[in-house]
Structure 1
Amino acid sequence: MTLPHGYVIELDRHTRVLDDGRALLGGYPTRLLRLTPRARALLTGRTLRVRERAGAVLADRLLATGLAHPVVSALPPNDPKDTVTYVIPVRDRPDQLGRALASIRATTTDAPVIVVDDASHDPAPVAAVAARHHARVLPLADNLGPAGARNAGLREVTTPYVVFVDSDIVLAPDTVGVLLRHFADPAVVMAVPRISALPGPDSERWLGRYESARSSLDLGRHPAAVRTGTPVSWVPSACMLVRTDALIKADGFDAGMRVGEDVDLCWRLTGAGGRIRYEPAVQAAHEHRVELADWFRRKAVYGTGAHPLARRHPDNIAPAILAPWSAAMLVALLAQRRWSLPVAGGLAAVATVRNAQKLKGIAHPLPHAARFTALGSLASLTQGAALLTRHWWPLTAVGCLASRRVRRATAVAALTDVALETLGRGPELTRLDPVRYAVARRLDDLAYGSGVWLSALKGRSTAALRPRVVRAAARPRSPLPQARACPRGDARPRRTPAA
């Protein structure tokens, strides 16, 4: 399978062009990719348009390594007519269902829509709303949960693509049409939009404004290839467009999972070689929870998916992934001794020298290696802060009672976390002052961490709580010469699954 002629990609914003275009540095895990003269000629600035087989091979390689992303506006259109079926799992909530169906019908009047009634307590209003919007109702006698309900709908799909839409989603008119463009790449099996907050009175409340800025379903402003160990390692099932045959081949969602089934599906699909694209150029609006008790409970439920995911994907669920040097640096800093900063600095210096050796052959490797190490240090500190305030908070709370050093480390971690979040989220945080944002952030961590610990205790396993220390990633096979992987610990911060 090759990319079609006319397919356009653009280098990722973090990808650096070195030595007048002779090498590229970036991706996940970060790597140095040296380009032959023929490959250099295929790039026009930071873009590449596929015009021949060599261009298709290079574009495919850049997409696979995260060095570049498709330019969705330049991809060939794919008409959704007769190609897409919408599947909406629902249990009661007829008002939200009606709103979701209206947004779909505003986009298309003839696409099949299947409403899977997951054993509603009062099925009559659901059926009435579905009939009003010319949707087919598939009633289930027993409550199967979101995964089982989606699978039931999938078995009725006959079109090449299926869109799963939750009942509390409102689709923008261009969302599905734009997502379909990504399937010009035959390796793409799923594409998802950015999940934004549904405007309304509730979105102006305190928690509504927090969710608008830092929803668990919002994966950011930048396009991404969805893979484990990257900043976007999973995508939510609130709205996803999937290639039907690929999903059937993967046996659909895991019906045994009531939470985390979307994470599991993403990891199974990418593990089988499929590509998933996160496309924030289009959005789907979600009605976020804003009542404190309901919101806190839902965040905890997200955390309970940790142990089932750890059983199915033990290598992917770690709350932190660190290189040996960055793990040692964290331990040194947490010790808070006189020798802590010199040891941390020494470890960073050694990592810089090693990274510079990996960059031999390019001009001025040391500054690039130093930047590389700084990003790795930031990623490690971010993950260490998350361990203290989120995943390990019960242990942290006990430690704070007994140790001034633990209290000091926790305070620094909490403040640093809010500062980095504020910088990273930009204008979206202007609607909520830093104090209330910090309070909501810590409550978010308490809820999610509680769910993780509950699942770990129930499963009698600490797998979802243990960080992973990994050495440099193995060099992947490449159709292009001289591609080298650098230590995974030097990658930028990753998002935690189902967080």
Structure 2
Amino acid sequence: MTLPAGSVVELGPQVRQYDDGRVLVGGAPPRLVRLGPRTEPLLKNRRILLDGSPSVRLADRLVTLGMAHPVTAELPALDTALLTVVVPVRDRAAELDRLLAGIAGGGVRVIVVDDGSHDQLAVRRVAARHSARLVSLDVNRGPAAARNAGLRQVRTPYVAFVDSDVVLHPDTLPTLLRHFHDPRLAVVAPRVLGLSDAGSGSWISRYEAARSSLDLGPDPALVHPRSRVSWVPSACLIARVDALGPGFAEPLRVGEDVDLVWRLAAEGRRIRYDPSVTVRHDHRTRLTTWLARKAYYGSGAHTLALRHGRAVAPAALTPWAAGVAAALLAQRRWSVPVAAAVLTTVGRRYTREATAGTVDPRRLAASLTGLGLAATAEQTAALLLRHWWPLSAAGCLVSRRVRRATLLAAVVDGLLEHRRCAPDLDPLRFTLARRLDDLAYGAGVWAGAVRGRSVRCLLPDIRGRGR
């Protein structure tokens, strides 16, 4: 990493400090890092100022592990003349006009790709009004092909892909562009929130405003499979042109953004999610169209599994975590003793191997074990309620234990997520909307698996030892 002198990186909110800050736990996947006598003074108030070789090396290490992230406001600006904006659109002339009005001048080039609109004249007029270059496709070829058609016309080092139903602030793209001082960075994306005035204020609209499928949360992340943020939506992102190769996979009508991110991550390139920058996005507010969109998102899991294998697994568990989950779900007399024995064994191994040399190894080992247990509970609930819900539903018909586990997971998950999101919606309707969200997405996953005659996208990834 070659960030400019004076730049700052900051530990992510998920990173925990122990032993007076000398031991760091976090990252993606979670790691334990010990700071030595030379590096410990470089970390002050969870921040590292890049002012010499030692600080640069430490910052690069923590950034690579996903434990620290550049502070966007501390990065110098890049010339926006280095950027071209590509906007794929099919009809939606009013939305396109709104988007182009929010893109500041400053030398930013704009290419509008008309992907087989029914009213091409309306799109042409909007593009001309904002001095945007228009590329017209005779037939609708899908968002991936439309973006690639625009990408082939780009002559600048960086390209921004922005969907026509997105609303930008004039500072959005210039701020995101700052991240490309990192030469390993291939893509950066902002947080995508729903439009505050979208729809009629129905309960679905308010749920989607707080828990949109495109909203990846308030915390920054290094993006790759098995990271807390494993993908970024192509609704808005900026990429380094020479890193994209042929661009998006044109056969994919859904999941093309996930496919691109995972291909770049496999090449060793960095993809960054920066929620300090936000954009607004139209979302569906009618129940039927909302459910259909959720199912559509889920239907891409099968194709992604064929292309990326285990990366698309609905859960990633170590053998001990899977054992604990299975024991507790069994709800037998032996369940709690068996789970406790496994957790005790794991805690002892952490004490012996991972936390040796710390001031209080037992406390740290207990914390690590607790974090692993919480992650296991979250993933198990997602399997029951989202990815495997047809199996859970069938089990509920014949088993009181399955009904009890499913009901508990549904209620606890809904209340915890309501507290985290703080939506403008009461807990009951929020939990109902969340369960409908899960049912629709899971139905899409199963439909794709049935059509593709493969259950690969439904299988959890259980391997390796906990780090």
TM-score range, shorter chain: over 0.9
Counterpart residue number, 1:495: none
Given that residues 89 and 167 in structure 1 are in contact (C-alpha distance below 8 angstroms), is that contact kept between their aligned partners in structure 2? yes
Change (3 A) 1:438 1:17: closer
What amino acid maps onto 2:409 in structure 1? A
Displacement of 1:280 after TM fit? 0.9
Query: Is 1:181 aligned with 2:178?
Result: yes
Q: Equivalents in 1 of 2:148, 2:22: separation in Å?
A: 48
Q: What residue number does 2:358 align with? A: 362
Greater shift, 48-57 or 185-194, is seen at 48-57
Alpha-carbon spacing, 1:111–1:433, altered in 2? closer, same or farther (3 Å): same
Question: Any idea what SS the aligned residue of 1:314 has?
Answer: helix
Equivalent residue for 2:322, pick from 311, 321, 327 = 327
- Structure 2: unaligned runs, 5 residues or longer: none
1:417 alignment partner in structure 2: 413
TM-fit CA distance, 1:367: 1.0
Give the Cα–Cα distance (whole angstroms) in 2 for the partners of residues 444 and 132 of structure 1: 39
| SS of aligned partner of 2:188 | strand
Q: Give the alignment partner of residue 216 of structure 2, picking from 196, 219, 233.
A: 219
2:155 counterpart (149, 154, 158): 158
1:185-224 superposed matches below 5 A: 185-200=182-197, 202=199, 204-224=201-221
Inter-partner Cα distance in structure 2 for 1:17 and 1:402 = 46
**Which SS does the other structure have where 1:316 is aligned?**
helix
Query: d(CA) in 2 for partners of 1:331 and 1:18?
Result: 31
Q: C-alpha separation between the residues in 1 aligned to 2:142 and 2:51?
A: 46
- Rounded Cα–Cα distance in structure 2 between residues aligned with 1:162 and 1:121: 27
Say if 1:168 and 1:286, in contact at 8 Å, map to a contact too. Answer: yes
Residue 439 (structure 2) pairs with residue 440 (structure 1): no
1:225-263 superposed Cα distances (whole Å, 9 cap, x missing partner)? 11211210100000001111111x3x2111111000101
Give the distance between the partners of 2:315 and 2:173, measured in 1 at CA.
34
Q: Once the two structures are aligned, what percentage of the paired residues are identical?
A: 54
Amino acid across the alignment from 1:136: R
2:460 equivalent in structure 1: 467
Q: Distance in 1 between matches of 2:249 and 2:371?
A: 36
Which of the pair has the greater relative contact order for Cα pairs under 8 Å at 6+ separation? 1
Give the counterpart letter for 2:28 in structure 1. Answer: Y
- Contact 1:4 / 1:56 at 8 angstroms: preserved in 2? no
The whole-number CA distance in structure 2 between the counterparts of 1:208 and 1:59 is: 41
- Native 8 Å contact 1:2 1:57 kept in 2: no
Equivalent residue runs for 1:338-357 within 5 Å: 338-357=333-352
**Partner of 1:492 in structure 2?**
none
Amino acid at match of 2:92: R
User: Residue 313 of structure 2 is aligned with which of 312, 318, 323?
Assistant: 318
Deviation at 1:109, TM superposition (A): 5.6
Tell me, yes or no, if structure 1 residue 78 matches structure 2 residue 71.
Answer: no
Residue 258 of structure 1: aligned partner: 253
Which moves more between the two structures, 192-201 or 290-299? 192-201
Q: Is 1:458 aligned to residue 451 of structure 2?
A: yes
Which residue of 2 is the match for residue 270 of structure 1?
A: 265
Partner of 1:102: 101
Aligned to 2:59: 59
CA shift, 1:111, in A, is 1.7
Aligned residue pairs total 466
Divergent runs of 4+, >4 A: none
1:102 aligned partner, one-letter code: A
Instruction: Tell me how far apart the structure 1 counterparts of residues 145 and 250 of structure 2 sit (CA, whole Å).
Output: 5
Identify the range of structure 1 (333-342 vs 32-41) with the bigger mean alpha-carbon deviation: 32-41
- For residue 250 of structure 2, what is the amino acid of its counterpart? A
1:14 maps to a residue whose letter is Q
The answer for the alignment partner of 1:114 in structure 2 is: 111
1:140, distance to aligned residue in structure 2 (A): 0.5
Structure 2 match to 1:403:
399
Q: Which moved more, 1:259-268 or 1:28-37?
A: 28-37
Evaluate the alpha carbon distance shift between residue 305 and residue 131 of structure 1 in structure 2; reply closer, same or farther with a 3 A threshold: same
Deviation per residue, 1:157-216 (Å, 9 max, x gap):
011111100010000121111111111111111111110111215162211100111000
Q: Give 2:265's aligned amino acid.
A: T
Residues 351-380 of structure 1, C-alpha deviations (whole Å, 9 max, x = no match): 111122211011101111111111111111
- What SS does the corresponding residue of 1:373 show, helix, strand or coil? helix
Shift of 1:272: 0.8
How far apart, in 2, do the equivalents of 1:135 and 1:180 lie?
20
Partners of 2:280 and 2:348 in 1: CA distance: 47
| Counterparts of 2:350 and 2:96, CA distance in 1 | 53
- In 2, Cα distance between the equivalents of 1:189 and 1:179? 12
Aligned residue for 1:139? Answer: 136
Which amino acid in 1 is paired with 2:412? T
CA–CA distance in structure 1, aligned partners of residues 442 and 20 of structure 2 = 47
User: With structure 1 as the length reference, what TM-score do the two structures score?
Assistant: 0.91
Moved more, 142-151 or 342-351: 342-351
1:34-57, Cα deviation, whole Å (9 max, x unpaired): 223222232233211112222211
The answer on 1:128 being equivalent to 2:121 is no
TM-score of the superposition, structure 2-length normalised? 0.97
Query: Residue 442 of structure 1: CA displacement?
Result: 1.0
